[in-house]
Chain A
Amino acid sequence: MSKAILYDSTLCIGCKACEGACAERWGLPYNDKIAAEEHISAHKLTAVETHGEHFSRRLCMNCQQPACASVCPVGALQKTSLGPVVYDAEKCMGCRYCMQACPFQVPSYEWDKRLPKMRKCNMCYERQSQGKPTACTEACPVGATIGGERDDLLAEARKRLAEKPQAYYQKIYGIQEAGGTSVLYLSAVPFEQIGLRTNVPMEALPETTWRVLELVPDVVSTGTVLLGGIWWITNRRSEVAKKEGRR
């Protein structure tokens, strides 16, 4: 059981109430100029994008098996059992591997600060752990963003697809993408038309590096025996050669 968000692009009216609520929750400035920016950044952790007549909201997908958390060398990013992927700025050393690894290009960096942090949505971990909804779901006036258990939201999404087949592109974005995400999308048109990446691998990304990393103990132990053995043989050979005066 873990918390998730369902964003229904067909219901979204582009009012950007979620953006304002998110900025307030993080204590970030929010004004007309920032509202006009249609991409997430270190000072705007969710953004409503306009794609023709459709809207699309961007925020951290809080993946089920997050690449960012698996690659972080200091464990500053953690997947919580509640669902959100949380970030501990005190641990972060600023290698930005999480940004490189994220298939959705979500993590943003405070490039202009002298002591920068990474910034991303954490699905209001603090609020949700107190049983409150996320700031964005609370703010949405039309129910385009709703929160709840992931399984329940998946059931709800399937129900919507079945009830109004003409209104929806018959797929849910986030079931399999990158091994499954906590943010699920419904759309009237194919997902790439509302700016979602559709070339994201359908497997959990941490697997790609773990397949190699789990070999490390084998490499070390086999390597020690092999190199030690080779040294033992070659060294003995030259000792013998020296003793026999062959040089």
Chain B
Amino acid sequence: MKVLMGKITVWRAISAIILVAGLYATYLRVMYGLGGSTNLSDKFPWGIWIGFDVMCGVGLAAGGFTLVAMVHIFNIEKYKPVLRPAVLTAFLGYVLVVVGLLYDLGRPDRLWHPLVMWNPHSVMFEVAWCVTLYTTVLFLEFLPMVFERFGWHRPLEWIHRISVPLMILGVLLSTLHQSSLGSLFLIVPSKLYPLWYSPILPLLFYISAIAVGLAMTIFESWHSSRAFGRALELPLLASMARVLAVILSVYLWIRFLDLSHRHAFGLLTQNRIETWLFALEIALMAVPMALLYQASVRVRPGALYACAVMVVFGFITNRLNVGTTGLEAGSGTHYVPKWTEIAVTLSIVATGFTVFRLIAHYFPVFEKEQHTVEVQGEIDGADREAGAPVMT
């Protein structure tokens, strides 16, 4: 117990330091502009606020649409217990992406411009619309947790009535903009290193987003089981890990085919930073894939967690490669983020963890153990969504 308390305090101290640094960085960003708070330049206009905050933020939130599709459209009800945490992660993820954008845009006061000034030929325009609409959808998907918390049955029923079209819309919007984040880079064929530039970037982004959505679900289930002292939904996560292994295989196979059709494998003989980053990215996807095919790995919480973490880091490496490092050589420059950029990014992550924890503590995000569900019938009577016992 003492150890646990100590650990929590250490994490809180780290978070506090990060947030203080983030606040000071925010001050610098507001007072001295992008020049005073980033290492961006005319040759390198996008840094980690785009490469991580936006591209990874949106991707790591992909569990929301993946699980909504699995539970409500494919009707695989056994995944229901992890649906709400995934929706919450997605909602917070998107809100934080918008926060990240407020830092990155030169004119954050004009964030709304794409909604009224249209250019349908722009991928960014499509992403802006999808992210706006999907954040709204996620908000509506999150609302039942609020309504249940306060016992508002009437609005809960309204939400239920529109829930199916809402969820289909959410999956479609996600499909569009998860892939479009890859399409953003189709316009830079001469800048992006050929290990990453591919005409099928949108497809690769989409499949890897599904994979990381599942990995994030495993990741947060593991963390929340520790934080809230719940039992881990191991059989459920193990079966999800099986799906994850298959999706990773599909992803890696398409990646392999793409590289071979573009005759890009020759590049791997070159001793350059890109080669090593590519190897790292692929290894962080391939190793967990191979491990997750082993039943013995899937049933061990620690090993399962380690695999999820690898996938998450593999995904982050990929997005950073496409969004930053892979563009350095082609842009004829080097980019190392300034401390302020890192401080803001870490603050956003720390805020995400903290807010998730708070909401999960005060709202019905995680299912109660099955036997308590039956005891507390009066609460769950109004709640066909999460309270219904898992299909057995």
Contact = CB atoms under 8 A, between A and B. Distances in A.
Interface of A: 40-42, 67, 70-76, 91-97, 99-101, 103, 105, 107-117, 197, 199-201, 205-206, 208-213, 216, 219-220, 223-224, 227-228, 230-231, 234-235, 237-238, 247
Contacts of A237: 75
B45 interface: yes
A97 B54 CA distance: 14
Interface in B135-172: 164, 168, 171-172
B110 A208 contact: no
12 contacts: A40-B42, A73-B128, A74-B113, A74-B114, A92-B110, A94-B107, A113-B33, A205-B187, A211-B186, A213-B126, A227-B69, A231-B72
Interface stretch (B8-16, B85-93, B117-125, B238-246): B117-125
A40 B43 CA distance: 11
Interface of B is mostly: helix
Given A71-B187, A109-B45, A94 B33 contact: no
A116 B106 contact: yes
A66 to B, nearest CB: 11
B391 interface: yes
Interface in B86-105: 104-105
Contacts of B266: none
A212 B198 CA distance: 12
A70 B250 CA distance: 33
A242 to B, nearest CB: 10
B68 to A, nearest CB: 10
A235 B69 contact: no
Contacts of A76: 117
A227 B105 contact: no
B34 interface: yes
B121 A111 contact: no
Contacts of A197: 190
Contacts, number: 179
Given A94-B107, A96-B45, A208 B119 contact: no
Interface in B168-182: 168, 171-172, 175-176, 179-180
Contact of B183 (A72, A100, A199, A212): A212
A100 B45 contact: yes
Given A73-B128, A231-B164, A238-B75, A209 B114 contact: no
B188 interface: yes
A59 B301 CA distance: 59
Contacts of B126: 213, 216
